[in-house]
């Protein structure tokens, strides 16, 4: 039971024990219900509750615990309404009659708003973070306070811009609360002038800072300038602290505006503003020492946990004021990020946005997919991923300029002339364009959402392949190697069918490795996961090799060579570096599969039966979506068992797949000397192969003879290929 009394309505004849903050109507008054609830509590055992005759399980799921801050959205902590909070002096204007304190507390409000904004970006409710600021809820009241008014206006305009970006990208499905504004005053008159208002305030403070420096050099001061506050010794420090905060807000708003320009036209300007933002954030961090030294009194608790640079609690905030607006569900318990962590968040966000802005808008789909996957490795937050998606897909086109059929045409190694062919109006090709567009959108979501969507998405790719194949056969009959290659439509079908297969196996590969990132696989399941990964990689390498052969043939036709030289023939007979790269993956996956199978078969302790489900059930749980789409064909739990049942240490010693992976990684590195990302990946693969090769030799030599041998797996060198660690217990 809470300390504060709870009130219920009584008849006009009743005598209320205490006046409530919400006034009674003409026919009702408030009566104290606390004794009634206390009596009910005394008569109830643990687990019991008071309910009506029609109460059921469904109602129980929606029941609220009265006076529990996490459950009862109607609970009042301090104020019932914004007006009541203002009447009680929760958000005074001016903040203090002492001008020095007023400036210092204004900076505290700025810092706390930055922390609230970071918490909102992390997925918390806008109502309980940024709009927990009473000044923002009644922005017109701040007009006499030019500094606070300009800052609150730019904050509101920034929130509106961020909501717009995330809503347009539709990535807010990950966090439903992010774009819900609950009737908050997000749209205000004159917000289009927020920059001009901010610039005017910035100019005034800049002049004041110049005046401070002029004073120190004994130059004459402008007569129309009034100091920010009354202490001359603190004036310069306050000017610098305010300027870096105002300039950060200005440049950050410019970043959001520039990045939203169509076809990536504002990316170069955005990068300049990002650099300015990072500079101002450094200055904001440096201002902390000055702000803490302004007053003799020190704040309580660890300064690193505070939401302001000074360490003092900000004025004008109440997180519970909007709790009843937050959602039709109980309010979330929200912990606002500390000021330092908020600055760190914005530094990372700006670096992520800079990576997006520095991208060359490559029209080659393979390069684009690699860029998005690489970008996701830094685990960007929702705002950065939304900007990336909006850049990639605009008006149903790649970067808002390239039709998706033209993108597919290039990816499928078709001649440039075919990109405007009428076949693109075919229903199946239109659907394929939509699939590519949706693939890019899915790859911009977070890892969990991405994996779930990709698993279901595989069936769509399988269906479109079948539809294209049927359309091809209906049009041209069985595929033959006759001179029909000259037929443009036939060529388009052949190339795109092969490309769709390659892309389908790439999606399946992505689906499987995301399971490692999300830690969905237990050690006992690694064997089946690497076996399935091996099966998918074999098909992916095969289709990639065929696709590259087709691409080479197209390039050769374009060059119109009359006769191949011996050097050209030798070059064609070599396996392309991209296929060897995949071959390195294949060797590692096969090596880990056979090692894990041998450990399971010869050391029962290593892989005991699960108390919850069988190995077959686990196989279905992990690969059901792949099995439904028949990826790859003829792969089942039975074929997995047949492949791994006879693995033994003796057979493992006969062939070392890790040595093959190590050799391939060394050989192919020179082919990727201009590709730092793949070069770094090959180094990681080489390290895994080297460690696992040694571990396999130790296991084969001592595994069956030494019961004290302990084998474990860690991902210290690579995110999804495990490094085997062998120790004696």
Q: Residue 654 and residue 84: Cα distance in Å, rounded?
A: 81
Q: Residue 239 and residue 291: Cα distance in Å, rounded?
A: 11
CA terminus-to-terminus distance, the chain: 54
Among 310-324, 478-492, 503-517, 564-578, which range has the highest average pLDDT?
Answer: 503-517
Q: Are residues 720 and 514 in contact, defined by beta-carbon separation less than 8 angstroms?
A: no
> Confidence band (pLDDT; 50, 70, 90) for 440?
very high
Least confident of 241-250, 290-299, 435-444, 464-473: 290-299
Name the nearest CA neighbour of 72 among 447, 324, 391. Answer: 324
* Average pLDDT of the segment spanning 119-130: 88
Q: What is the pLDDT of residues 37-89, one digit of tens each?
A: 888 888 888 777 777 777 776 666 666 666 665 566 556 567 778 888 898 88
Q: What is the pLDDT of residue 12?
A: 37
3-state secondary structure of 32: strand
Q: What is the pLDDT of residue 1?
A: 38
Q: Give the rounded percent of residues in the chain with a pLDDT score beyond 90.
A: 53
Q: Residue 360 and residue 368: Cα distance in Å, rounded?
A: 10
Q: Residue 445 and residue 438: Cα distance in Å, rounded?
A: 11
| Burial of 283 (C-beta count, 10 Å sphere; 0-12/13-18/19+) | middle
- List, in order, residues 6 or more apart from 608 with CB less than 8 Å away: 524
pLDDT at residue 471 greater than cutoff 80:
yes
Q: Which two tokens stand for residue 195?
A: 């920059």
* Average pLDDT of the segment spanning 558-582: 65
pLDDT at residue 332 greater than cutoff 70:
no
Q: Residue 524 and residue 544: Cα distance in Å, rounded?
A: 31
Q: Which two tokens stand for residue 248?
A: 């950060």
3-state secondary structure of 48: coil
pLDDT at residue 186 greater than cutoff 90:
no
Count the neighbouring beta carbons within 10 Å of the beta carbon of residue 669: 15
- List, in order, residues 6 or more apart from 478 with CB less than 8 Å away: none
Look up residue 377 and give its DSSP letter: T
Q: Are residues 382 and 352 in contact, defined by beta-carbon separation less than 8 angstroms?
A: no
pLDDT at residue 256 greater than cutoff 80:
yes
Least confident of 50-54, 259-263, 465-469, 659-663: 50-54
pLDDT at residue 299 greater than cutoff 70:
no
Using alpha carbons only, how large is the chain's radius of gyration in Å?
33
Q: What length is written for the chain?
A: 729
Least confident of 53-67, 247-261, 496-510: 53-67
Q: What is the pLDDT of residues 601-616, one digit of tens each?
A: 887 656 666 677 888 9
Q: Residue 618 and residue 612: Cα distance in Å, rounded?
A: 10
Look up residue 123 and give its DSSP letter: T
Name the nearest CA neighbour of 260 among 401, 403, 394. Answer: 394
> Confidence band (pLDDT; 50, 70, 90) for 230?
confident
- List, in order, residues 6 or more apart from 314 with CB less than 8 Å away: 105, 108, 109, 111, 112, 307, 308
* Average pLDDT of the segment spanning 693-716: 83
């Amino acid at each position: 039971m809470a300390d504060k009394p709870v009130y219920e309505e009584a008849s006009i004849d009743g005598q209320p024990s205490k006046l409530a903050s919400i006034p009674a109507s003409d026919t009702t008054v408030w009566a104290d219900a606390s004794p009634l609830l206390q009596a009910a509590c005394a008569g109830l055992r643990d687990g019991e509750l008071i309910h009506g005759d029609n109460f059921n399980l469904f109602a129980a799921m929606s029941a609220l615990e009265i006076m529990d801050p996490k459950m009862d959205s109607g609970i009042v902590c301090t104020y019932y309404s914004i007006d009541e909070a203002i009447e009680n002096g929760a958000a005074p204007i001016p903040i203090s009659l002492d001008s020095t304190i007023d400036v210092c507390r204004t900076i505290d409000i700025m810092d706390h708003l930055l922390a609230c904004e970071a918490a909102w970006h992390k997925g918390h409710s806008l109502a309980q973070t940024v709009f927990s600021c009473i000044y923002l809820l009644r922005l017109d009241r701040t007009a006499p306070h030019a500094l606070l008014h300009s800052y609150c206006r730019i904050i509101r305009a920034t929130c509106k811009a961020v909501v717009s970006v995330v809503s347009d990208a539709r990535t807010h499905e990950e966090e439903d609360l992010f774009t819900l504004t609950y009737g908050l005053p997000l749209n205000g008159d004159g917000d289009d002038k927020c920059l001009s208002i901010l610039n005017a305030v910035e100019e005034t403070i800049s002049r004041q800072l110049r005046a401070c420096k002029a004073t120190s050099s004994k130059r004459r001061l402008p007569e129309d300038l009034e100091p920010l506050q009354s202490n001359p010794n603190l004036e310069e420090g306050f000017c610098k602290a305010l300027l870096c905060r105002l300039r950060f807000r200005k440049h950050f708003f410019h970043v959001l505006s520039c990045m939203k320009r169509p076809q990536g036209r504002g990316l170069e300007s955005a990068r300049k503003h990002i650099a300015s933002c990072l500079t101002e954030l450094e200055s904001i961090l440096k201002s902390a020492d000055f702000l803490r030294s302004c007053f003799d009194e020190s704040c309580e608790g660890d300064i690193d946990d505070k939401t302001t640079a000074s360490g003092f609690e900000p004025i004008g905030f109440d997180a519970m004021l909007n709790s009843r607006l937050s959602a039709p569900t109980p309010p979330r318990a929200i912990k606002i990020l500390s000021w330092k962590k908020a600055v760190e968040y914005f530094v990372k966000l700006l670096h992520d946005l800079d990576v997006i802005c520095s991208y060359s808008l490559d029209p080659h789909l393979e390069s684009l997919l690699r860029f998005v996957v690489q970008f996701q490795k830094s685990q960007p937050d929702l705002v950065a991923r939304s900007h990336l998606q909006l850049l990639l897909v605009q008006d149903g086109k790649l970067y808002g300029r390239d039709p998706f059929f033209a993108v597919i045409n290039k990816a499928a190694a078709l001649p440039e002339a075919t990109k405007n062919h009428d076949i693109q109006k075919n229903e199946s090709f239109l659907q394929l364009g939509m699939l590519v567009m949706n693939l890019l959108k899915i790859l911009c979501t977070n890892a969990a959402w991405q994996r779930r969507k990709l698993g279901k998405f595989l069936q769509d790719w399988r269906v479109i392949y079948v539809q294209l194949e049927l359309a091809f056969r209906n049009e041209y009959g069985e595929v033959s190697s006759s001179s029909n290659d000259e037929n443009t439509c036939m060529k388009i079908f052949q190339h795109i069918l092969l490309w769709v297969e390659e892309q389908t196996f790439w999606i399946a590969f992505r689906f499987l490795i995301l399971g490692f990132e999300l830690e969905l696989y237990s050690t006992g399941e690694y064997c089946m996961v690497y076996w399935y990964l091996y099966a998918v990689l074999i098909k992916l390498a095969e289709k990639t090799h065929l696709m590259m052969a087709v691409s080479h043939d197209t390039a050769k036709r374009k060059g119109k060579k009359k006769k191949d030289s011996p050097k050209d023939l030798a070059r064609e007979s070599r396996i392309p570096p991209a296929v060897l790269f995949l071959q390195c993956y294949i060797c590692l996956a096969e090596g880990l599969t056979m090692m894990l199978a041998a450990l399971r078969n010869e050391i029962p302790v290593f892989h005991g039966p699960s108390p919850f489900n069988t190995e077959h059930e686990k196989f279905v749980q992990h690969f059901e979506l792949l099995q439904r789409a028949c990826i790859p064909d003829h792969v089942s739990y039975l074929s997995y068992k047949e492949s791994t049942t006879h693995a033994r240490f003796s057979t493992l010693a006969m062939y070392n797949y890790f040595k093959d992976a190590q050799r391939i990684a060394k050989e192919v590195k020179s082919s990727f000397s201009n590709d730092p990302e793949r070069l770094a990946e090959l180094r990681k693969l080489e390290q895994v192969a080297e460690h696992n090769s040694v571990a396999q030799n130790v296991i084969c030599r001592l595994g069956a003879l030494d019961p004290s041998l302990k084998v474990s797996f860690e991902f210290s060198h690579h995110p999804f290929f495990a490094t085997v660690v062998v120790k004696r217990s």
